[in-house]
């Protein structure tokens, strides 16, 4: 991952952590929704960073699986915001963990 992408990723993560902290302290539905959207943004950006930073020697199946899982996590998190679809939060979390594990497999290899 190049320096610019690392800087953007750090900024996004710091913003997300700030949203989480505000969500816990303020107990506002608007801030909680912003934190959920922040999670979707983090998952989406992480998917982009993995795809853009993949080298030709990386196993393409693992790269695409990780990217797909992270994009799926972002979409599931947005769907979870709609009434009656709260169970998608669990789906989003599982997909995010799967994508993150794929990232570690890519970096290890």
pLDDT tens-digit map of 52-67: 989 999 999 999 999 9
State residue 1's pLDDT score: 64
Residues 6+ apart with CB under 8 A from 38: 15, 16, 19, 20
Residue 4: pLDDT band with limits 50, 70, 90: confident
pLDDT tens-digit map of 63-108: 999 999 999 999 999 999 999 999 999 999 999 999 999 999 998 8
Residue 109: pLDDT band with limits 50, 70, 90: confident
CB 6 within 8 A of CB 49: no
State residue 43's pLDDT score: 95
Choose between 66 and 12: higher pLDDT.
Answer: 66
CB 76 within 8 A of CB 88: yes
CA 67, CA 65: separation in Å to the nearest integer? 6
CB 85 within 8 A of CB 62: no
State residue 104's pLDDT score: 93
State residue 61's pLDDT score: 96
pLDDT tens-digit map of 23-49: 999 989 999 999 999 999 999 999 998
């Amino acid at each position: 991952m190049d320096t610019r992408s690392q800087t953007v990723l750090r900024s996004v993560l710091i913003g997300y952590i700030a949203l989480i902290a505000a969500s816990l302290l303020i107990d506002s539905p608007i801030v909680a929704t912003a934190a959920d959207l922040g999670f979707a943004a983090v998952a989406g950006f992480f998917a982009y960073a993995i795809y853009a930073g993949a080298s030709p020697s990386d196993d393409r199946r693992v790269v695409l699986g990780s990217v797909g899982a992270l994009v799926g996590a972002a979409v599931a998190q947005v769907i979870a915001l709609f009434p009656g679809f709260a169970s998608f939060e669990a789906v989003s979390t599982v997909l995010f963990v799967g994508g993150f594990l794929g990232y570690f497999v890519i970096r290890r290899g």
